[in-house]
Amino acid sequence: MRILVFSHYPDLAAELVSAGSGLGDVSLLATSDMREAVSGIKGAREILICEGVESGDQETLVELISGLASDFDVILLSGDRRGRELVGQVAHRVGGSSAVDASGLSVSGGNLIVERMTFGGKAIAVEELALPAVVSVQKGKFKPLEEGEPSIREISPPSMERRIQVVERREKPKVGVPLDKADIVVAVGRGFRRKEDLKLAYDLADVLGGVVGATRPVAADLKWMDEEVWIGISGVRISPKLLIVVGASGQQQFAAGIMDSKVVVAINNDPKAPIFEQSDYGVVMDLYEFLPVLTEKLRKLKGV
């Protein structure tokens, strides 16, 4: 099997190389602005570097990857937004099958077998994909390889007429510890009435040495958090040792992002909130009453 992998993010590209190497020979594609960033990635047979294409140019990337596809059986992309945006376009251009967010990959009977979450996280589907197959891979599922020095091959850019023009790019503020790497997470939901009240959650997280995450509406809609990183099926999947969910209902799309947490605590004043079904410990109480008490007791315990 010949596998082509590409991601805008070097750490995800390294994971894709690892995912692909379980299936066959891997070629890692990079644009020339990523040359440095991918130079340390091990385990691919070769790195293809395309001069004259910028990694932010999605339209040209579709053309470039589709053009290379005839030499490959499987194309692996990353599960971030730009990665996912490419999957369907490339798959259709090459007349191939597709799937997103694969957590497992194998080959059987000339098909690619993909495991992935579906029904908002309520089920896992095992799908048989005809080759060629274009698949995005779930973040964090494959460990980067430590060996295998790739050769470098320069390739030339496609020539094409562009219809999409990027006119502005605004960086979003970066978070300290990324949610998906944190040991302790306090997740806040719309049960908080005002942005200032989130201090209750930050205080709790501080005492525990944890970080604060949010549901999608708090982060993306109300924009109460610095960053636009929310927990769930369309955001980050987390796997902390301890997750404390405060004032979030636990709708399925949020719940899908917390399944790998070790211990889950829910604080919600509605005894019928679905979050209690997905928790180890539940406290049915007004967060405004309970959080200050909990934080104070933990502070005494920890002597901070």
Partner 1 sequence: MDIAVLIKQSLDVQELRVDQDTGKIYVEDAPTKAGDIDLNAAEEAVRLKERLGGKAVALMLSTWGSSGRRQKEAREALTRVLAMGLDEAVLIMGEGAERADTYVVAKALAREIGNRFQLVLAGEGSEDNFSGLLPARLAAELGWPYVAYATSLEVEGDVATVTRSLEDFEEVVKVKLPAVISVTQEINKPRVPKLMEIVKARKKPMDAKNFSSSEEPKVRIRELRVPKVERKRVIIEGDKDEAAEKLIQALKEEGVI
- Which parts of 235-264 interact with partner 1 (CB under 8 A)? 241-242, 251-253, 259, 262-264
- Per CB under 6 A, 249 contacts ligand FAD: yes
DSSP symbols for 78-144: ESSHHHHHHHHHHHHHTT-EEEEEEEEEEEETTEEEEEEEEGGGTEEEEEEEPSSEEEEE-TTSSPP
- Per CB under 6 A, 278 contacts ligand FAD: no
Q: Which residue number, 154 or 228, has a Cβ lying nearer to partner 1?
A: 228
- Per CB under 6 A, 51 contacts ligand FAD: no
Cβ-proximal residues to 283 (8 Å cutoff; 6+ apart), any chain? 265, 266, 267, 268, 290
Task: Say how many residues make up the chain.
Answer: 304
- Per CB under 6 A, 277 contacts ligand FAD: no
**Structure token pair of residue 156:** 């030339």
Q: Report, in Å, the least distance between residue 125 CB and ligand FAD.
A: 16
- Per CB under 8 A, 272 contacts partner 1: no
> By CB under 6 A, which span of 18-26, 74-82, 99-107, 263-271 interacts with ligand FAD?
263-271
First-last CA distance in the chain: 56
Q: What CA dihedral angle connects 40, 41, 42 and 43, to 10 degrees?
A: -160
**Chosen residue from 10, 96, 191, 247 binding partner 1 by CB under 8 A:** 96
- Per CB under 8 A, 1 contacts partner 1: no
Q: By CB under 6 A, name the binding residues for ligand FAD.
A: 189-191, 215-218, 230-235, 247-249, 251, 253-254, 257, 268-270, 273, 286-288
